[in-house]
């Protein structure tokens, strides 16, 4: 669990070098139907998402909580993105399931889209005259 905790902390801190070091060469990151493979590509995806958040919002802070599952190699990571724009703050929730191989590091990450969260962020941005496309 400490390994997954360290990965989540590195991602919260935009420490992509540390995050990449914790991933297996064969890591597979699934976002919906998309599959991103390899630590460099996975880190590039996380970096792009964080850069977009920092571009859209006045302040961005990240937090997380790691929870074990019934499988000793799979952990649930609940992420909170604290987003501030024009003095208004909202918290966006996300979840990922992280699979760890004790000999290779993180071998799998599955992004779980929580119902209504994407729409909440889009509505928040729209109230301030912005969208993910801006």
Nearest Cα residue to 131 out of 34, 36, 38, 52: 52
Taking residue 82's Cβ as centre, other Cβ atoms within 10 Å add up to: 14
Distance CA 105, CA 52 (A): 28
Please tell me the pTM assigned to this model.
0.92
The tokens for 51 are: 């850069």
The tokens for 43 are: 């880190």
- What's the pLDDT at 108? 98
CATH topology of domain 2-127: Nuclear Transport Factor 2; Chain: A, (3.10.450)
What does the radius of gyration of the chain's CA atoms come to, in whole angstroms? 15
Distance CA 119, CA 98 (A): 25
The tens-digit pLDDT sequence of the chain (134 residues) is: 888 999 999 999 999 999 999 999 999 999 999 999 999 999 999 999 999 999 999 999 999 999 999 999 999 999 999 999 999 999 999 999 999 998 999 999 999 999 999 999 999 999 999 998 86
Helix count and strand count (H, E) for the chain: 4, 6
The tokens for 71 are: 């499988």
Instruction: Please state whether beta strands 105-112 and 23-31 pair in parallel, antiparallel, or not at all (unpaired).
Output: parallel
Nearest Cα residue to 100 out of 37, 46, 26, 35: 26
């Amino acid at each position: 669990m400490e390994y997954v905790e360290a990965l989540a902390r590195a991602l919260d801190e935009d420490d992509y070098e540390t995050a990449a070091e914790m991933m297996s060469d064969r890591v597979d990151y699934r976002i919906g139907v998309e599959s991103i493979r390899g630590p460099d590509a996975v880190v590039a995806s996380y970096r792009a998402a964080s850069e977009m958040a920092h571009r859209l919002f006045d302040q961005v802070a990240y937090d997380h909580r790691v929870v074990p599952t019934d499988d000793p190699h799979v952990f649930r990571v609940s992420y909170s993105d604290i987003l501030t724009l024009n003095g208004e703050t909202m918290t966006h929730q996300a979840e990922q399931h992280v699979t760890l191989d004790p000999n290779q590091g993180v071998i799998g990450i599955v992004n779980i889209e929580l119902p209504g969260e994407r729409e909440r962020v889009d509505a928040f941005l729209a109230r301030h005259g912005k969208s993910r496309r801006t």
